[in-house]
């Protein structure tokens, strides 16, 4: 073997021996490298991972429109985030005939806090005694036919005790009930039925439209810079919160890798009147932050068929690859080259 050939062979061996440590040292980490390899295998072509931020919060809303539970780590499944037995928006308050009840109909629902108490959910609200609801309901409890934005979906009734509690809290003349979506028993909704840009495979339980909504802290800061009275993340109810990026840079994050998961951006989140419910008082103003958002976050006219007159704040994602993620994980944008 010539001296030149020997040198070349040595260089190749060193490259293969040190390739993975070099990638890790560059900040990708073992999980991100595995995700990167999966992407290459699935999509082909050359893919670069560019760090665009860091997960600062993971938020799960067990009961639709109620307070969030902040968790340090979560599974990301087809239906969205899950922590232990708590799936994001897997419980729903309904009327007796199965119509959904959210902060749009009952603004004070945002004051109900939900705590994970092992095998029960602990519900607390102003002026009410704490109540515990079993996470797993008896199979003898009825499965109710429900309606979420005029779409059919089922839920297992959570019993008369919590029904009385909710009815009393809302001072309603008609009974309210709590139902639970059971993924192994019930058929999820198609996200595509709520918003056409979603893919056939994107599914949801009781969320408005998407299994994942992502928002950056800097976008919220930029909004608050323009407002007289600041608002909080609770007004917008994201699942994944990202720090360390420029305001609204998430608008261009098409393919993301976080932990062992991969997300596909579908569309922006068009904001509705629910954002005007003060999460500290349960009072709906019908004005802010929507009025301020309308001054600088309206869609292009060519997209008015999709967003109509709703200002855009946060991004909806479909789940491309399930897995786990945690607070502190770097967020990578996958950029295809060639």
- Summarised one tens digit per residue, pLDDT across range 218-229 is 999 999 999 999
- pLDDT (0 to 100) of residue 42: 54
Give the C-alpha separation, 244 to 27, whole Å.
15
What CATH number corresponds to the domain at position 260? 2.40.33.20
Q: Tell me whether residue 14 is in a domain.
A: no
List pLDDT tens digits, range 58-94.
Answer: 999 999 999 999 999 999 999 999 999 999 999 999 9
pLDDT exceeds cutoff 70 at 22: no
Asked whether residue 232 carries a pLDDT value surpassing 60, the answer given is yes
Number of domains in the chain: 1
> For residue 138, what pLDDT is reported?
96
Mean pLDDT confidence for 169-190: 97
| Range scoring the smallest mean pLDDT among 37-46, 47-56, 101-110, 140-149 | 37-46
Residue 252 domain-assigned (yes or no)? yes
Question: 336 falls in which pLDDT band (50, 70, 90)?
Answer: confident
What mean pLDDT, rounded, does the chain reach? 90
Q: How far apart are CA 86 and CA 183, in angstroms?
A: 12
> Would you say residue 11 lies in a domain?
no
pLDDT surpassing 70 at residue 257? yes
Structural domain boundaries, residue 242:
29-337
Alpha-carbon distance of 132 to 120, in angstroms, equals 6
Residue 235 lies in a domain: yes
Q: In the chain, pLDDT over 90 holds for what percent of residues?
A: 85
Backbone angles phi, psi at 304, to 5 degrees: -65, -25
Q: How far apart are CA 133 and CA 178, in angstroms?
A: 10
Q: What is the dihedral of CA 45, 316, 64, 320, to 10 degrees?
A: -10
Please give the average per-residue pLDDT across 156-167, as a whole number: 98
C-alpha pair distances (Å), 197 with each of 24, 143, 265: 36, 31, 10
In a domain, 323, yes or no: yes
Asked if residue 21 belongs to a domain, the reply is no
Nearest Cα neighbor of 70 from 54, 86, 90 is 86
Whole-angstrom distance, CA of residue 288 vs CA of residue 187: 36
The reply to whether 176 falls in a domain is yes
Q: How confident is the model at residue 47 (pLDDT cuts 50, 70, 90)?
A: confident
Each residue of 111-136: pLDDT tens digit? 999 999 999 999 999 999 999 999 99
Residues 275-284 have a mean pLDDT of 98
Q: What pLDDT band is residue 38 in, cutting at 50, 70 and 90?
A: low
- Does residue 12 belong to any structural domain of this protein? no
């Amino acid at each position: 073997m010539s001296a030149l050939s020997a040198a070349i062979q040595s260089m190749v061996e060193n490259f293969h021996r040190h390739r993975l440590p070099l990638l890790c040292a560059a900040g990708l980490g073992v999980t991100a490298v595995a995700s990167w390899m999966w992407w290459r295998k699935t999509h082909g072509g050359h893919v670069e991972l560019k760090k665009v931020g860091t997960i600062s919060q993971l938020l799960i809303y067990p009961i639709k429109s109620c307070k969030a539970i902040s968790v340090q780590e979560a599974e990301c499944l087809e239906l969205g985030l899950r922590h232990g037995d708590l799936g994001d928006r897997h419980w729903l308050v309904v009327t007796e005939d199965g119509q959904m009840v959210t902060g749009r109909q009952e603004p004070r629902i945002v004051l109900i806090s939900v705590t994970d108490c092992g095998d029960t959910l602990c519900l607390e609200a102003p002026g009410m005694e704490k109540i515990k609801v079993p996470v797993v309901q008896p199979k003898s409890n009825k499965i109710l036919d429900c309606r979420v934005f005029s779409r059919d979906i089922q839920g297992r009734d959570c019993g008369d005790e919590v029904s009385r509690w909710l009815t009393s809290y809302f001072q309603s003349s008609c009974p309210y009930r709590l139902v639970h979506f059971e993924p192994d028993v019930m058929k999820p909704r198609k996200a595509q039925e709520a918003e056409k840009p979603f893919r056939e495979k994107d599914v949801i339980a009781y969320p408005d439209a998407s299994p994942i909504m992502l928002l950056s802290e800097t976008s919220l800061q930029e909004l608050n810079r323009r407002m007289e009275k600041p608002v909080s993340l609770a007004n917008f109810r994201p699942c994944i919160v990202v720090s360390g990026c420029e305001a609204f840079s998430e608008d261009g994050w098409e393919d993301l890798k976080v932990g062992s998961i991969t997300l596909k951006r579908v569309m922006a989140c068009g904001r509705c009147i629910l954002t005007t419910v003060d999460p500290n008082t349960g009072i709906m103003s019908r004005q802010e932050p929507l009025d301020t958002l309308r001054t600088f976050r309206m869609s292009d006219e060519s997209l008015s068929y999709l967003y109509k007159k709703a200002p855009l704040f946060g991004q909806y994602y479909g789940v491309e690859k399930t897995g786990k993620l945690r607070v502190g994980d770097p967020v990578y944008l996958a950029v295809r080259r060639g």
